[in-house]
Amino acid sequence: MKRFLIGGLLVALLLAGVVSSFASGSPDGLDYAAREGCTFNADDEITGGSCMLQREQDHQLGDSPLADYGIKGIDNEYLSTGLSGVAGVLLTFAIGGGLFWLIRRRPTVDGKA
């Protein structure tokens, strides 16, 4: 069981740290749907129409250290994205492991779980 968890963690860290740098920069489905109905100029500014994107606002945590799939202050985009992914995997693993540790079955006084 321990080998399985360590192996899974290593695979997740590899994917988050290396493979995430090759993710597509193209708009995803939500971005595409938010742009539907508007017209844009060459600078990608809305020039007309009606779409969800017109009501877009900056996120309250937009200035946080891990905003925009990167780490603030690291200029190398690939390194910033990779480290951000590694930090996310480690944080998720720590929270998940902590929760499992808290809710695990503990033996009672008579030795039964």
Number of domains in the chain: 1
**Domain with 55 in it:** 2-103
69 versus 97: which is more confidently predicted?
Answer: 97
**What is the full DSSP assignment across 15-65?**
HHHTGGGG---S--HHHHHHHTTEEE-TTS-EEEE--GGGG----TTTTST
Rounded Cα distance, 57 and 7, in Å: 41
pTM for this model (two decimals): 0.68
- Decide if 59 is inside a domain: yes
Per-residue model confidence as pLDDT tens digits over 62-92:
888 888 888 889 999 889 989 999 999 999 9
- Decide if 110 is inside a domain: no
- Decide if 74 is inside a domain: yes
Per-residue model confidence as pLDDT tens digits over 28-39:
788 889 999 999
- Decide if 17 is inside a domain: yes
- Decide if 112 is inside a domain: no
